[in-house]
Amino acid sequence: MTSPDERIERRARALYRQASQQLDPAIAGRLRAARREALQPARSPHGVARLLLPAGAFAVIALAALMVWQPHRGAPAPTVPAAAVATAPGATQDDGELPPDADSADPNLYQNLDFYGWLAANDSAAPARR
């Protein structure tokens, strides 16, 4: 009760074994040499690329580390506490990025706030002149 596929498979195996036992020694030697050559690692440009890939990855990591860690190029600037700057004589708040407080600023600046808002809104729409 074997299927036709199984009978064909058994017959093919038997023929293969018979042919391999009756093989000429010269042909068998050539087949073994071809098998060894096929199983040797290929020396192609792809093999060189495989070696360069880890070296390239290491170079990228080293470059990223150098960009993150940058040595100081001179003496570091002395740090001054904020309280000392605020109480220093002649210290102004014009040096900072934030606008001055309403209590310490010139009161004339806050008289026409609507005008300054209108000016800022219309100034961005004005064409640049050079």
pLDDT digits (tens, 9 = 90+) for 74-124: 555 656 555 555 554 555 545 567 766 767 777 777 777 788 788 888 876
Model confidence pTM above 0.85 = no
**Of 129 and 16, more confident:** 16
pLDDT tens per residue, range 3-35: 889 999 999 999 988 888 888 889 889 988 998
Nearest to 94 by CA among 78, 111, 106: 106
- State residue 33's pLDDT score: 92
Q: Which two tokens stand for residue 83?
A: 């309280």
Which runs of consecutive H residues, i.e. helices, occur in 4-127? 4-21, 25-39, 45-68, 82-87, 113-123
pLDDT in tens, 53-69: 888 899 999 999 988 88
